[in-house]
Copies of this chain bind each other. A is one copy, B any other.
C-alpha cells in the first residue's frame, strides 16, 4: 500500500449531504489516491455537521452552496449524490468548471439527459463514472472471468437478476426515491438500475434487442414505480428477466445459465460481509449415479478484499482522473458506454410500462 499511497492524490468535492455520501466519504478516506477536499450543501450548518461526523480531514472546505464547490479551483473531481432530477443541471455546470464526475445512480431521468451530461464531460476532456459500486468488487471480476471461460461456462443462455429491499412507511411517504419531481423512475431507477447493469454485465454488455415489462407495476399514488418485473430479449432469443422492488425484503440475486456452467450470487449489490464475498458455480455437471446427486458438485468461491468495493471504485476513478491530470491519458470511455447502455434499457422498460406492456425496441 505504501507504494500506492505515494500516487498523486485526487481532491474530491461532494455536492450535498445525502445518506449515501456518508458511505462514499468513508470510501474516499479509504482510497489511497483520493482525499475529501470540499463539501457543499444549501445549509452550511448541515455541511459542517456532515463533515464533522464523517471523518473529513480538518483542512476540508465546507461550503453553504454547491456553486462554491464548483468554483473552488482545487477541486479535481465531484461526487454527485443529488436527487436524479438535479443531475443534469449540476453535472453540466461541473463539467463547465472542468470537474471530473463520479455520478450517483440513477444517473439521469432518461438517456436524452444523460447524453447531455456525457457530452459535457467528453467535450471538456473529463472522466465520467457512475457510482455502481459492485462493479469494482474483485468478486465481480472473478465472476466475469468464470462467465468468459468457454469450457467452464460456455455461451450465455439465460439471466435472472433481482434487487429489492422492503421499505417502511416513512420511506414511502418521504424518501426522494418515491417523489416524481426528484427520482421519477422510482424503484426502476434505483434498484432496477442494478438489475439491468447485472444483466448487461452477464451478457458482456451486448445490448438486448427488446424490453418488455411483464406486468403492470405497483405504483404509489403519485405514479412512481414501487415494484416491477421485466424481460429483455436478444437477437438470438436469449432471455433475461429481472425483479426490482421497494416492497419485498432484501434480495440481490443473479442467476446466470450457460451452456456448460452456471453461476449464482445472492448479494451482488452489497456483499453480506465487507471483507469476503461468495458466489456459487457449477460446470459440466450432470446427475450422479442413479440420478441421486450431482457430479461434479457445485463450487463455493470466496473472494476476499482488504478495502471495500466503494473504496475500490473511488480508487479506480481517481486513478483515471490522475492519469488525465498528471499524465497524458484520455478519459476512459468504457464507463460512459455502460452507463448509457444501462439507461437505454431502463428507458425501454419504462416505455413498455407506459405503452401497456408492449415490447419496446432498444436503440443505442
Contacts and interface: CB of A to CB of B under 8 A. Distances in A.
A115 interface: no
Nearest to A157: B248
A292 B23 CA distance: 8
A3 interface: no
B253 A248 contact: no
Q: How many copies does the complex hold?
A: 2
Contact of A249 (B229, B248, B257, B297): B257
Given A249-B262, A280-B266, A298-B272, A243 B160 contact: yes
Contact of A262 (B158, B216, B248, B282): B248
A241 B245 CA distance: 16
A274 B218 CA distance: 41
A293 interface: yes
Secondary structure of the A contact surface, majority rule? mixed
A271 B292 CA distance: 8
A157 B248 CA distance: 7
Given A255-B253, A272-B294, A293-B271, A287 B239 contact: no
A20 interface: yes
Nearest to A253: B255
A214 B239 CA distance: 7
Contacts of A297: 272-273
A287 B243 CA distance: 19
A290 B164 CA distance: 17
Interface in A253-302: 253, 255, 257-262, 264, 266-267, 270-274, 280, 282-287, 290-294, 297-298
A248 B258 contact: yes
A251 interface: yes
A231 interface: yes
Interface in A9-64: 19-20, 22-23, 26
Given A23-B290, A233-B215, A290-B26, A259 B247 contact: yes
A270 B287 contact: yes
Given A214-B239, A243-B239, A267-B294, A282 B233 contact: no
Interface string A309-347: 010000000000000000000000000000000000000
A229 B157 CA distance: 10
B237 A215 contact: yes
A186 interface: no
A201 interface: no
A162 interface: yes
Given A274-B293, A286-B250, A291-B23, A237 B216 contact: yes
A227 B157 contact: yes
Contacts of A262: 164, 248-251
A294 B250 contact: yes
11 contacts: A157-B227, A157-B248, A160-B241, A162-B255, A166-B260, A215-B239, A249-B260, A249-B282, A249-B284, A270-B293, A270-B294
Name the 5 nearest CB pairs between A and B, nearest first: A250-B285, A248-B257, A215-B237, A158-B243, A23-B290
